[in-house]
Amino acid sequence: MAITATTNGGDVSLNADKVSHDLVETDVEIITSGRRRIPAHSGILASASPVLTNIMEKPRKIHGGSSKRVIKILGVPCDAVSVFVRFLYSPSLTEKEMETYGIHLLALSHVYMVTQLKQRCTKGVGESVTTENVVDVLQLARLCDAPDLFLKCMRLIQSKFKTVEQTEGWKFLQEHDPFLELDILQFIDEAESRKKRRRRHRREQNLYMQLSEAMECIEHICTEGCTLVGPSCNLDNNKSTSQVKTGPCSAFSTCYGLQLLIRHFAVCKKRVDGKGCVRCKRMIQLLRLHSSVCDDQSESCRVPLCRQFKKRGEKDKKMVEETKWKVLVRRVASAKAMSSLSQSKKNKSEVLFKEEEEDFIRIRNKLI
């Protein structure tokens, strides 16, 4: 199957038929750096590249008595030009051609505005970029307006900077293009800053999730009871607090620590004497945080000091509250809501999975 050019009302288009190119006389000669002459058809070249279209529309110059138009493509290997012209006829490239001439084809596709070839070369060159040639490819990507390839090279330099710094390409860059060097260093600095912000954000989110879990555990301990601590209304006078609930809950590590803190808070002599206790202060902060995120408006909450902190908060509404505390309360409430939402989604998915499993078993039993 060969490809020929047909003209309909002045527009040139490619058609595939069984007529060989050799049966149509060529009217263009492409001259390469090595003086190689590549015959071609103006219609096919014009249909593949708007730049070549503009060249075809210019008045023809007669060279040595030849009636053929001459187009010079210099500065790249002759074989790369041959591959480029062949792509204009039939858009296909082999892996070996991409590996050998990918950089040259990227430059040609940019200069002659061959979009399909430029996309192929951007992807192919990006897959073969290494620490040794990444600086050269980066410079080419900037000149050829290939943002995807440019970003990929930047990320490779940022991740392997110590290795890239030792290459000849980087040393050449430092001497001849200090502005690009500055852009690279700024990119690396911004990437490191983003990493630090993400790590700090993850740490904060983990803290908020832990505080949210602690709020749930406090409610659980004060309403249902756990292994060591439980509400006094559920206990008989003849039973010890260790008999409230024998089985551990799902968040036992957090719950157990809170139970120890509550037991200490109940018997601490420093708190009673007014001398102050770090563990008791921590417990009071947790109780205050609970009262700030507690949605119970009926004053039936069993968590100690919840109503007292709420009343104090109502009295202090006219006063300017601590900004950090307000942010903490908002973030913990948000984490609590997200935790509840994810748990409900998980429960729904488990129910759906169980229903599907039951339907499958029922259908299988019918078939058997």
**What pLDDT is attached to residue 253?**
77
* Residue-level pLDDT at 268: 82
pLDDT at 365: 62
Confidence (pLDDT) at 212: 82
pLDDT of residue 251: 72
Average of per-residue pLDDT values in the chain: 78
pLDDT at 274: 56
Spatial separation of the C-alpha atoms in residues 247 and 220, rounded to whole Å: 13
> Among candidates 221, 143, 159, which has minimal Cα distance to 191?
159
Structure tokens at 221: 């301990």
Residue ranges of the chain with per-residue pLDDT less than 50: 1-23, 232-246, 318-320
Strand-pair partners of 16: 3
Question: Reduced to 3 DSSP states, what percent helix, strand and coil does the chain have, rounded to the nearest 5?
Answer: 65, 10, 25
CA dihedral 13, 19, 25, 27 (to 10 degrees): 30
- Distance, CA of 235 to CA of 172 (rounded, Å): 80
Task: Look at residue 254 in the predicted model and tell me its pLDDT.
Answer: 80
pTM of the model: 0.62
Provide the token pair at 275. Answer: 């001398």
Quick one: CA dihedral 111, 115, 117, 122, positive or negative?
positive
The confidence score (pLDDT) of residue 272 equals: 58
